[in-house]
Chain A
Amino acid sequence: GDAPAAKKKPLRFGVADPLTGPAAIFGKDQMQAVRWAVEDINAKGGVNGHPLEAIILDHQAKPEVGIAVVNRFVHVEKVPVYITAFSNVVKAVAPIANREKVLMLSVGANAPAIARLGDYVYTTFPLADVDMNALGKYAYQKMGKRRAAVLHVNHETGRDGAKVFSESFKRAGGKIVVYESYEQERSDFTGLVLKVKAANPDIIHIHSVIRDFTAVVAQMRQLGVKTQITSYQTAFNPKMIQQLGKGAEGIIVTALAPSVEDNKNLPAYIERWKKAYKRMPIGLPYTQYFYDAPYIVAALYKWVLDKKLPITGENMRKALVAIKTFEQPLTNTVTINDDHTVKKPVYFWQVKGGKFTLIGSQKD
């Protein structure tokens, strides 16, 4: 029960995510998932009777804020492990983790460079090379596309994702006919859209934040570009369908988290959202990973407590390396490879009749 859990000293860990700013739309739901996970763990007695406690701070998806927040985790809150997301922040705060020997778990940032940020930086989330590699191959082989246009927003995730997709598509045998980037916050994409139209591709991959994604697609559809569009996990968002209406039909997005078919806990989880907020979570797959992240932390704490080691970042890291494979409630098996990467199956969803529908997956 929870009674003993409340008495013992809480086991704390930090979570930094954007709760304000343009990225907050994802961060808010992700933090809700973390809170639920902590509640659930504590309801089951916590870790060896200790309650788990998440210290949630807002980094606004800005590196300089991220540095301040992580400094606070490390020096003021003195946590041995913290979780964060968003590639630019992850990169900015990684040196702190290494220097201060505090374990850092990246959840949701997917720049391939994250695997090489240092000894104390791990990801529990597959990086872009996983889903975009799969999508490139899928587009060529399963969908029979040959000529792709690639557009991406000029930030870390956009650049990396677009690059991995186009390389994979080319490797499979396809041709990239347009490859363009644009700055965030742009509102008019006429030139870009027409350039794509002129190049006449048979598939368009847009690697972009959700607002730009809907604006680009809306303008494409209005200018008569009816080509198949693909994107990645951020577009897995019901708001996108609402804003695009009919224009959203047929869009394919990837997901790195298991679907209802593959995970028995997921339907209940989705129900929980519907009950609490009358909607699906925004960026469902991300929230699955975030829900699961405290479970990893709990496992690490348990390993350290069982070995009666002092609670330090070094020992948390030792625990991670020792445990390696985690059975997770919403994302099934997660194995942390020695090279700091994670491999997971990729799921493909398509908008059909105004709803996301699973159309396939790739597991290897």
Chain B
Amino acid sequence: MLTWGILGQLLWTGFAAATYYCLFAVAFSLVLKVNKIWNFAQAGVMVFSYFALLVAFRHWSLALVPAIVFGLLITLGVSLALERYAFMVFRDRNSSILTLFIFTIVFSEFSVYLIELAFGTEPQTLYPSLLWPVDLYGGIAISHWDLMAIVVTAVLMLLLYLFVYRTRYGQYLIAVADNENLAEIYGISRKRAYGVSISIAAVLITAGMYLFGTKAALFPSTPLQHLLIFAVIATILAGIGNVFRAGIAAVALSLIQAFSILVIASKWQALLAYILIFVVIIFFPRGFALPRKLSGLVRPSGRSASVAVADTAGD
């Protein structure tokens, strides 16, 4: 019953379906790395982002570009406001990590309730219909959604990569991530860096929510209950601080889940993920990080020098 066609299909569709997880994981991981915040408020931002898009598409019937722009603006606004009026305040006060933890979670809950208040609790899709045109290539169904998702994600990841590693501002982010006080001493504004990273996250989130909402309906509570956990797990599996690897981990995790149905009952699929996290964390506490290259670092042993040194004195 298992044919290559089905495996190929699983790989392709699973890959496409992993794209928004990838975006969310990278956004989460980036904010964790630079702003040093376990930003569970991301779920709240995701909700706002989604419903901004929803209003633009469904209520105002805007065209694609203005609708996305509107969604992005709202997402940016919420994100920056969070950074400026909440994270910064807690940071200045030297609040404990727990306080921030709670704040971010409660903020997400608050957003969910607020949106439920405004929009009701029904699941909503961005377009009235969930069906996309499908083309068949060699027995593999390729929906236009898949193509769009993969292209959007790939482009965004590429841009982010270029930004981080090829621009000066990317370097600033890296510096602030590592030691924000020292970065200030080298003229880098940490506040600006925090703003930039949370804005990048906002872009990724908007894209991710658009992809999600064109594939399935969203309850206001879905980001908090489901999407975010996934991003957190991917972040950890990749090892904290490996932003791009978090994206890869998200894709891998999602694919593993998709494929695992071929061997285990689907009701145990989620368990597989949990066991995986538990085991990975305990046996590879730094994530699936490759051992760092130390090959470049060689120095002669002091023994070579000692040959020439006469034994100066006895004990």
A contacts, CB < 8 Å to B: 20-22, 24-25, 154, 180-183, 185-188, 190-192, 194-195, 197-200, 210-211, 214-215, 218, 221-224, 242-247
Q: Is A197 touching B130 in the complex (CB atoms < 8 A)? A: no
A167 to chain B, nearest CB (A): 18
Tell me, rounded to whole Å, the shortest Cβ–Cβ distance linking B97 to chain A. Answer: 28
Main secondary structure of the interface of A (DSSP, over half): helix
Contact check, A197 vs B123: say whether CB atoms are below 8 A apart: no
How many Cβ-Cβ contacts under 8 Å join chain A to chain B?
119
A353 to chain B, nearest CB (A): 16
Determine which of B131, B266, B269 lies in contact with A245 in the assembled complex, contact meaning CB atoms within 8 Å: B131
B259/A191 in contact, CB under 8 A = yes
Query: B-side interface residues toward A, CB under 8 Å?
Result: 1-3, 6, 9-10, 13-14, 17, 116, 120-123, 125, 128-132, 134, 136, 141, 143, 212, 215-217, 219, 221-222, 225-226, 254, 257-262, 265-267, 269-270
Chain A: minimal CB distance from B201 (Å) = 20
- Given A24-B122, A183-B270, check contact A191 B134 (CB 8 Å): no
A180-B265, A198-B6 known; A190+B258 contact, CB < 8 A: yes
User: What are 5 sample pairs from A and B whose C-beta atoms fall under 8 A apart?
Assistant: A182-B269, A190-B13, A197-B6, A198-B2, A243-B130
Q: Which residues of A contact B130 (CB under 8 A)?
A: 214-215, 218, 243-244, 247
Known: A181-B266, A192-B266, A197-B6. A187 touches B216 (CB 8 A): yes
- The contact of A22 among B121, B129, B266, by CB within 8 Å, is B121
CB distance from A101 to the nearest CB of B (A): 34
Q: A198-B2, A198-B6, A215-B217 are in contact. Are A191 and B257 (CB under 8 A)?
A: yes
Which residue in A21, A24, A187, A222 is a CB contact (below 8 Å) of B134?
A222
Within 8 Å by CB of B6, from A24, A186, A194, A214, lies: A194
A180: chain B residues at CB < 8 Å are 261, 265-267
Q: Which residues of A contact B10 (CB under 8 A)?
A: 190-191, 194
Nearest neighbor of B226 in chain A, beta-carbon distance: A185
| Residues from chain B with Cβ under 8 Å of A197 in the complex | 6
- Quick one: which of A185, A188, A200 contacts B17, CB cutoff 8 A? A188
Question: Is A191's CB under 8 angstroms from B260's CB?
Answer: yes
Are B131's CB and A222's CB within 8 A? yes
Inter-chain CA distance A218–B145, complex, in Å, is 12
A24–B221 CA distance with the chains assembled, in angstroms: 13
Report yes or no: A211 in contact with B219, Cβ–Cβ below 8 A: yes
Residues of A within 8 A of B217 (CB): 211, 214-215, 243
The 8 tightest CB contacts between A and B, nearest first, are: A191-B261, A188-B17, A218-B130, A187-B216, A191-B258, A211-B123, A190-B13, A198-B1
Nearest chain A CB to B188 CB, angstrom units? 39
Q: Across the interface, do B261 and A192 meet the contact criterion of CB distance under 8 Å?
A: yes
